[in-house]
Structure 1
């Protein structure tokens, strides 16, 4: 069993937000890349070893801008792609929003960018995609950083048995209903504002970033596709090939890994990451970041970037 080191963050947090947050990013570039049958929009900065930054919900690639800048300053080629379904024309060609499909997207993008391997940083459902990519083909992943969504069977168990986590995950169950789309868009996406407020108490997403996120979700077809991630979450695949692929995508992880979780996360309980080391077979460290909720890379950008760079550089 790989050793686990658990410790609270010791990085300074005072004055953290102005350094490396989304308002930075003068060096970030935009373009599209043909990968896996989709024209994937990406944000990128710097040059050097490739690092992919993968967003979750309700979020988009732009929330990585501050981290992209920090990675670029440290000599990396930092790339944040839009996840499948998050842009008009970006709907999954195979209809799948399962972990194996998003993990394969990551591997396809590494190839499309002309690299053999990459470091992966994933937040929320982006973490799930990163875990799946590393499970599907560990030879393509050098190091892995997961944030805010743990890996392992304990999460599914919690949805069945843990009343506290069931309360935190109420939105997942609501998304199974036909009411979800009209409810989410009502009153200028007040539903999305509520999720951010609940998940990261005390953090206020700046107005410009909030508006940009809502524009992403407002684009034709995007909201229904993004809800597909949750509508497929609790339903097992019906065909043998997909079941086998999903099993591969949820196996043990054999690349060095770091996991970061906000101490005040009201979406995913930090306790759900207890015991994660059991499924990481080549080194694992967990760091609980104080004074941070679910969107810890925005709430404590310097602290999170410092931890990531320390891990990638060693």
Structure 2
């Protein structure tokens, strides 16, 4: 990927890959991941006549840190609009995985005039996440990453913590793409500042989503799995919390990275959705 930068009037810098031309699509990555995971899809969409912007989440690249600006959900909801401001663009179709999905729901709820449609991956509408003992255990990283020694714990034994998350969250994902994605994540987190900022997303998470916790009046495609920590039925129900014409895709056997675990199927569904928006 070829990285370029753009900065808002108040000094927030975005670092991103920019390819193709046509309707604008933003691809937000999540945790534990990097923008490199979106590279095949970004190139696929560019070849299909779209312009793709694939940014680093704020804090995952040293140039993107903005001191004094936190990572609470309602703050992250404005990241997409700020990126569009930096790019000098009015609106985009927004795609997001994991924390990127949280940004995507937030953008559609708080800045609907900047969002044409949304695609969220692995995360259902936030109102559909029902607490349970099983979910609390499966999502224990939300508690573990708030601990004072979290950075040491994540980095120890060549990031065994991250490797274990990949194994637990996507037990059926094998091969070069999985290994490369894990290696890219370890390389990103080898920079202590990047890891500290990634952990800050969890330390500042307060479970308050504001408008994003209510029905969102935007068409969307939500992509899910049958082998991840969030039940597939929450993914299947998400279109009821979005605008008419929304849909869900469940990829059987996929874990937390369904867009990577069956890339051809995901890309075909994404392209079909984008064409329907256009």
Match of residue 211, structure 1, among 183, 189, 196: 183
Tell me the residue number matched to 1:292.
Answer: 254
d(CA) in 2 for partners of 1:71, 1:268: 28
Count of residue pairs brought into register by the alignment: 273
TM-score (normalizing by structure 1): 0.82
Tell me the residue number matched to 1:152.
Answer: 126
Change over 3 Å in CA distance of 1:282–1:163 after alignment to 2: same
Match of residue 140, structure 2, among 170, 193, 196: 170
d(CA) in 2 for partners of 1:312, 1:54: 16
d(CA) in 2 for partners of 1:193, 1:275: 30
Match of residue 162, structure 2, among 180, 189, 192: 192
d(CA) in 2 for partners of 1:140, 1:95: 21
TM-score (normalizing by structure 2): 0.92
Larger RCO of the pair (alpha carbons < 8 Å, separation 6+): 1
d(CA) in 1 for partners of 2:207, 2:233: 25
Give per-residue Cα distances to partners, 1:252-306, cap 9 Å, x unaligned: 31111110001222x3222333532342134321111113111111111111111
Please report the RMSD computed on the Cα atoms of aligned residues, expressed in angstroms. 1.8
d(CA) in 2 for partners of 1:63, 1:205: 14
d(CA) in 1 for partners of 2:240, 2:20: 35
Tell me the residue number matched to 2:78.
Answer: 104
In 2, are the aligned partners of 1:255 and 1:283 still within 8 Å (CA)? no
Match of 2:161, SS? helix
Give per-residue Cα distances to partners, 1:102-138, cap 9 Å, x unaligned: 2211111122222211001110110000010010121
Give the CA deviation at 1:41. Answer: 1.1
Give the CA deviation at 1:222. Answer: 1.2
If each structure's helix is expressed as a fraction of its own residues, which one has the higher value? 2
Match of 1:298, SS? helix
